[in-house]
Structure 1
């Protein structure tokens, strides 16, 4: 009697001993042809071993039985507990402004002021017309913060794409908060001149760094966000797209993103709080030396995960990153990994791919000593495969009835997408042709999310919505500028009154504090400033706001009752 089994008999025997479980996921593999499932490298494997293992196309073997359970594995014991740290923990109950200043530190603001003034002076030296304008003076830290504060307020008002002229309009459709902070021309001038690097050395630095116009500020910002917070035990890695359609060598097209075109930022963020913890800007294929033995996705993950090496945290990512190679590399760095896998990975056995014979809502598992793969059939001719170095047993969630690996993946995969959505909800981004401004606005948006997380960790007994956080932050940033501008003698009475209302000052208090702004002297008579020169009408009445002389033709009489008149005076 022939004891050797044919290939068909072996296949039927394998199917008869598979164990099935329910599962669901958004990442599915679709059956394309039967040829994908016919490839096999089992010819030289003993039958006894074949019955206990699944074998990939490259001969990689997965056991059908989980490894023996033991005490809690070392990689599940997380070090460096999550929460605020460093400068953020020095003071309790931080204000929104204090949380923001931890991220946009004084070092960053000083660099922005210095490089912006460099651009202003270059413009003034090259154009006499620019030099003669009153709004082209050098800037300072107070004014730059107020400029950023106004951009945050446009995020609250959902007017970040509104024309600047309408924001500063005086016909009743504009917003007084913008007019009392700075003039329209000054805002536009700062928008043009804002710079983030030394222009005199930029071309030299661009030969080795394509991100030279923004890299100094970007690197300092990333350093600050890591110095003030420790992420939780679960982190997510994914890409973020900052919308941009201008000229840029490394602009990318991503069909899956709403903006389609933009600058790609690879991000690592907290899966629970969505706090951005590390990031780098994709600048195209670089000439920098890299490890030829590792794939680009693996190197990207290792670059992002470097700050959390040897902390036993888990990384969740999608199928572009996932590979057996990556799991091995992360294990050596003291990290675990969970992610979906593409069906072209040679380590995947044919049994884990889409197959017409597999039943719906069924799942099969494969194990090694430190890795687990699970394949689930959500519907006919489809399957989804996940790899995990965190799960090591066949386990089903009692609530959903799905494999625990899939439930965990679904709960942690959306960290970066949630961060991107929060940034879009309150965006300070304005239309621009300069890609460094796009990155700067993206950092401003991220500082809102990260700052709010720091505030919640610092104010354990308090609660504030992100909308109120941004509003309070914006008002706090513009207040010092309004106090400084109020001392200028050229400010009209109308703006003075609006400044007083914003600062909570009474007219008497305002006058006492405004010693440098004496009231205009009233002449007995003068020419109406609204009449043509040929008319030359002399008059003795003047406007109570601008103090200019006005004739009866252009005079608007103000009717008031005695009570209102007494209250006004």
Structure 2
């Protein structure tokens, strides 16, 4: 006997999307989201999510003037006066340096939100955005990535910037320094965090809107430079840096001076000997504090012998 789903008028009534709940038994959630977007377009509320100011408007980067003149320092003084605060619990105080990165919780079973990341040691599992103490690896906040169709993205920051703002909303205005890699770092994110009296330091992709690629060497001009070469431009507290290691690496930071006399790092040459290369404060701080989430991975590695562990137990062990 054929199932009765009602008349066409009932299924397309004004009271509900289809008028008959049985329709949803025929398609999964992801397919339903895609059909809804195709029919009705994107939601008008996409630009509003918990933790982000509705009144914030990204700056006009065409009016920004980058030059060899650093006028920053006010934010650094504020951070030194503020120091670490009791943020998460009454028993733990985050250090000033925190890092944001993704972590993978191993899982190869059947799960709709399971992700594959080929460049990670753990290639299959549940992807989690994590805010961690950069000194101890303590997990301060996290958010499980539910997939492309399960996330509403703010158009001003994009997914990467939205992740940082959402995770760090409880620590904004306390003088913290947030370290991110080039997936998250952008001039727009740095501008917003600076308004909230919070630093940003991280590697950055040169195609980010507002990054001064005209004033810094890129492409072949950068690859031809000697190892240890440094070039930078600044705008107030914003410092954009190119540092040549084995390849050119680009940084964006707020509150750090562009150069510091006598600051070096050791690198190994092809013949096995070591050489000292000049570096900037942002390079040194990034190398020292970006690994907060990596420390969390080391401290919470799941025993591989427990192959039958439920997925929710894996999440609990990883982030508790």
Q: Do the aligned residues in 2 keep the contact of 1:242 with 1:442 (CA within 8 Å)?
A: yes
Partner of 1:65: 69
Residue 390 of structure 1: aligned partner? 255
Q: Does 1:292 align with 2:155?
A: yes
Partner of 2:233 in structure 1?
A: 366
1:259 is the counterpart of 2:92:
no
1:349 aligns with 2:213: yes
Answer with 1 or 2: which has the greater Rg: 1
Aligned to 2:307: 431
CA distances 1:345-370 after superposition (whole Å, capped 9, x unpaired): 24232433232543332101110112
* 2:286 alignment partner in structure 1: 409
What does 1:402-481 align with in structure 2 at a 5 Å threshold?
402-424=279-301, 427=303, 430-432=306-308, 434-443=310-319, 447=320
The number of residues matched between the two structures is 244
CA contact (8 A) 2:99 2:131 kept: yes
Provide the TM-score with structure 1 as the length reference: 0.40
The equivalent position to 2:175 in structure 1, one of 312, 318, 338, is 312
Supply the distance in 2 between the matched residues of 1:299 and 1:62 (Cα, whole angstroms).
Answer: 26
SS of the aligned residue for 2:142 comes to strand
Shift of 1:284: 1.2
Q: Distance in 2 between matches of 1:78 and 1:352?
A: 37
Distance 1:325 1:269 in 2: 22
2:30 matched to which residue of 1?
none
Deviation at 1:436, TM superposition (A): 2.3
1:366 aligned counterpart, secondary structure: strand
Q: 1:333 to 1:70 in 2, by over 3 A?
A: closer
Two-structure CA RMSD over aligned residues (Å): 2.7
The alignment partner of 2:318 has SS state of helix
Q: In the alignment, which residue of structure 2 is the partner of 1:245?
A: 108
Q: In the TM superposition, what is the alpha-carbon distance from 1:383 to its structure 2 partner?
A: 0.6
- Residues 260 and 71 of structure 1, relative CA distance in 2, 3 Å threshold: closer
Task: List alignment gaps of at least 5 residues for structure 2.
Answer: 1-60, 266-277
Distance 1:333 1:441, change over 3 A: same
Partner of 2:244: 377
Alpha-carbon contact 2:72-2:238 (below 8 Å) kept: no
Q: Indicate conservation of the 8 Å contact 1:226/1:278, yes or no.
A: no
Identify the structure with the greater strand proportion.
Answer: 2
1:63 alignment partner, SS class? coil
Q: Does 1:324 align with 2:187?
A: yes
CA deviations on 1:377-411 (whole Å, 9 max, x unpaired) are: 124xx310101002134224545342121011100
Whether contact under 8 Å (1:312, 1:334) holds in the other structure is: yes
Contact 2:105 2:128 in 1 (8 A): yes
SS at match of 1:62: coil
Do 2:76 and 2:255's aligned partners in 1 also have CA atoms closer than 8 Å? no
Tell me the secondary structure at the aligned position of residue 328 of structure 1: helix
Structure 1 unaligned residues grouped into runs of 5+: 1-56, 86-224, 448-569
Q: Which has the higher helix share?
A: 1
Decide whether the 8 Å contact of 2:72 with 2:237 is kept in 1.
no
Q: Tell whether the 8 Å contact from 1:76 to 1:390 is kept in structure 2 after alignment.
A: no
Q: CA deviation at 1:71?
A: 10
